[in-house]
Amino acid sequence: MQKYRLISNRAIHPGEILCEELKERGIKQKDFAQAIGWQATHLNEFIKGKRNLNEDLAMRLESQLGIPFKTWMSLHNGYIYECKILEKRNADENFIFQSKNASADFRTTANKLEPSKPIHPGEVLKEELDYRGISQKKFAEQIGISYKNINDILNCRKPISADIALLIEAALGIPAHIFTGMQMDYNIFRTHLYSRKTHHDSVLTVPTRLLSSQYFHISYRM
């Protein structure tokens, strides 16, 4: 059993960001925990990704480090969404070799690997709007684009551009890079499928030409 991922993703917990920040400022975890009025063990769990961020902690971090509350909550939302996306992607992945005729299969291992199928970011956005009870029309008005454009995105007919991702971030608090990253994964996957189909079609057409008596005769004389 093998795995093949177009993109190697790992959700980044805001605790990792805090850990790097404390290192840069030369602050020990124990001292920082005391400064924000938290137990050192709880802070250590947060830094190791074993405890999630909440609004109370985000406000304490803003007060002590000067990093805005909104930034911490945005990091948290991004982490939750990345976890959700990775979980769904892993559930859809097919890691098993596909061999319709094992006895006649002379392909290398690398050529047998099947890539995962990335999700169009419009699917995730649609689920989020449904969860929040926001209609497509209302959301289109909120971010300042036409209803047709948002409908095309939610139905996977149009990509989410960087500009639209920023508008979504401002409206929903979900980091723009979540959507742009998903869109890139999706685009790469579609390109990969197209290239495989083109190659497959060309391979199928070659034997037909080679079997042509005229082609064979000319090749033989040459």
Question: Per-residue pLDDT tens for 192-210?
Answer: 766 655 555 554 444 444 4
Q: pLDDT value at position 175? A: 86
Residue with the two structure tokens 């099947």:
114
pTM: 0.47
* Rounded distance between C-alpha atoms, residue 209 and residue 213, angstroms: 9
Q: What is the pLDDT of residues 114-141, one digit of tens each?
A: 445 778 999 889 988 988 899 999 999 9
Q: Share the mean pLDDT of the chain.
A: 76
Measure the CA–CA gap between 181 and 199, rounded to whole angstroms: 27
Report whether 22 contacts 29 (CB < 8 A): yes
Q: Of 112, 18, 23, which is closest to residue 71 (Cα–Cα)?
A: 18
Residue 93: the pLDDT is 61
Comma-separated ranges of CATH 1.10.260.40 domains in the chain: 1-112, 118-222
pLDDT, average across residues 149-161: 94
Confidence of residue 9 (pLDDT cuts 50, 70, 90): low
What lies within 8 Å, CB to CB, of 31 at 6+ separation is: none
Q: How large a percentage of the chain has pLDDT more than 70? A: 68
* Contacting residues for 41 by C-beta, under 8 A, at least 6 apart: none
What superfamily in CATH does domain 1-112 come from? Answer: lambda repressor-like DNA-binding domains (1.10.260.40)
Question: Which CATH number, 2.130.10.10, 1.10.3720.10, 3.40.50.300, 1.10.260.40, labels domain 118-222?
Answer: 1.10.260.40
Task: Identify which has the larger pLDDT, 154 or 101.
Answer: 154
Could you tell me the CA-to-CA distances from 127 to 7, 97, 118 in Å, in that order?
Answer: 23, 32, 16
Summarize the confidence of residues 217-221 as an average pLDDT.
Answer: 37
Helix axes 162-172, 176-210, angle to 10 degrees: 140
